[in-house]
Structure 1
Amino acid sequence: MISLKLEKGLVQIYTGEGKGKTTAAIGQGIRAYGNGLKVYMLQFLKGGKTGELKTIDELGDNFKIFRFEKPKDFTWNLTDEEKEELRLEIREGYNFILDVIKENKCDVLIIDEVMAVLSNKFLSVEEVTYIIDNKPETMELILTGRNVPKEILEKSNLVTEMKCIKHYFSEGVPAREGIEY
């Protein structure tokens, strides 16, 4: 495999109300992987089975997905006890990220649904800006999720907004295995 090193890693954000934020981040990760870069993806608030897990697992050690949360319902359906358990799992994921940036363990770090973690107040804006400010110079950072705080937007180099023009959910089509997960 080609061994590429980035001279300067930037900060990318995929946001918006539309579908495709995680898919875009994984696509960028696949491109980086295909060029010899090591990719880590940490997924927050996603505990269920998804098709990308199997595919990326087959790629080996140069593209890994990490999850620290047990499968749960949507956050708005959780009891206080379940929310506290989730908070601890998210904290474990955050500490993992801090270790990844401190030890420079990958070339591309994708933090999926980090904006939802912020919206639900499981992490603070300051904690996420700390990641941005302290990532290694050569590490690309990709963040996903809706409602990006102004402080994070200002620190980013690329922001892509997914805008929903039309969605089959409004026609009553549920999430489909192989397409939405």
Structure 2
Amino acid sequence: MGKLSQGCIQVYTGNGKGKTTAAIGQGVRAAGDELKVYMVQFLKGSETGELKSIAKLEPYFKIFRFEKKRGFFWTLSDEEKAELKKEIEKAFEFCKEVLKNKECDMLILDEIMGVLHNKLLTVEEVVEFLKSKPEDIEIIMTGRNVPNEIQEIADLITEMKDIKHYFEKGIPARKGIEF
């Protein structure tokens, strides 16, 4: 570890497609230079193409998931939301340990903004986490609706903006493209 002299905080946000894809691309680039990349995926329980691709990049790039497969957040019962909250908290504890022990060079928190938006973690918890970041670790966060407190701490924010989308033509999410 410690191959980065200066780690930054990056955010990929916006309503457009490509937030997770951009984070994965950055992770693939880092893994190509033998940096160790951990990606923790929040609010994603179903099978996606990146799980198979990234498995081929181990030990340099690993994806971690702590949640069982469920529907979208707004379809869950109160009991399922409580269970999900516990899984999210476990995943976030894992992230804290990874930072504290400097287990990777780049830590990607995929869909962390969705976690905040759904109040499964607090903005204060994530801000405190970001402030604890060692100097030589890169953090990448994805998701819509970035809180102001995180915007202030971030070193880079890229917004993915929908200009045109094939969903409007009725083309559904496709395996290998959207998931």
TM-score (norm 1): 0.97
Question: 5+ unaligned residues in a row in structure 2: which ranges?
Answer: none
1:119 match: 117
Q: In structure 2, what is the Cα distance between the partners aligned to 1:21 and 1:48?
A: 18
2:150 match: 152
Which runs of at least 4 in structure 1 moved beyond 4 Å after TM superposition?
none
User: Residue deviations 1:78-110, cap 9 Å, x none?
Assistant: 001110110000010000001001101000000
Q: 2:63 aligns with which of 62, 65, 81?
A: 65
* Percent of aligned positions that are identical: 60
Contact 1:25–1:144, Cα closer than 8 Å, also in 2: yes
Question: 5+ unaligned residues in a row in structure 1: which ranges?
Answer: none
1:163 match: 161
Q: 1:173 aligns with which of 144, 148, 171?
A: 171
Q: 1:8 aligns with which of 6, 29, 46?
A: 6
Structure 2 counterpart of 1:124, one-letter code? T
Structure 1 counterpart of 2:161, one-letter code? K
Contact 1:4–1:36, Cα closer than 8 Å, also in 2: no
1:79 match: 77
Contact 2:2–2:137, Cα closer than 8 Å, also in 1: no
**What is the deviation of 1:4?**
7.8
Structure 1 counterpart of 2:5, one-letter code? E
CA RMSD of aligned residues (A): 1.0
Q: In structure 2, what is the Cα distance between the partners aligned to 1:4 and 1:124?
A: 29
TM-score (norm 2): 0.98
Name the SS for the 2:99 alignment partner: helix
**What is the deviation of 1:166?**
0.7
Cα 1:4–1:92 change in 2 (3 A) is closer
**What is the deviation of 1:130?**
1.4
**What is the deviation of 1:30?**
0.3
Contact 1:44–1:111, Cα closer than 8 Å, also in 2: yes
